[in-house]
Amino acid sequence: MAEHPNAEPIRQAFDAFARGDMATMQSLVAEDTVWHIPGRGPLAGDHHGRDAVFEMFGRLVQASEGTFNQELHDVLASDDHAVALTYATARRADHNYDSQDVWVFHLRNGQIIEAWWRPGELYAADEFWT
């Protein structure tokens, strides 16, 4: 069975992010996107617009001292949504982040218009990113 076409932009986005290819990311993230990050840490909240999301990406890399890595395990997609199953790691001083995470994306015309991050353990994520 062929993969749904909405899986491809998600695969491309994870690959581009891992390579630091923000030009490709810009083509895959809608200008009016909204990303929802749960928790109480400095990255938490609703990030409205591509610029705010990319600024949050920068803070994520900085907070992990450049060690953040996210491995894409699988993508499940439909006409409007895609779900990404990931394994994320990061290290900062004596703190480690090691988590099976889930991302839910809403897509329009091959672009991400909304994203929701669901860490495997919210308290552990809050502790690391704070």
**pLDDT tens digits, residue range 33-85?**
999 999 998 899 999 999 999 999 999 999 999 999 999 999 999 999 999 99
Residue 109 forms part of a structural domain: yes
**pLDDT tens digits, residue range 3-38?**
899 999 999 999 999 999 999 999 999 999 999 999
Where residue 18 sits, what CATH number does that domain have?
A: 3.10.450.50
Q: Report DSSP state, residue 61.
A: H
pLDDT at 129: 85
Binned at pLDDT 50, 70 and 90, residue 1 comes out as low
Element (H, E) at 93: none
Q: Which domain holds residue 112?
A: 7-129
Structural domain tally of the chain?
Answer: 1
Q: Report DSSP state, residue 127.
A: H
Binned at pLDDT 50, 70 and 90, residue 127 comes out as confident
45-48 and 111-118 beta bridge pairing: unpaired
Residue 90 forms part of a structural domain: yes
Region 89-96 average pLDDT:
91
Residue 1 forms part of a structural domain: no
Show the tokens assigned to 55. Answer: 């600024």
Nearest by Cα to 89 from 76, 74, 105, 101: 101
The model's pTM is: 0.93
Alpha helices by DSSP H, the chain: 7-19, 22-28, 50-63, 122-129
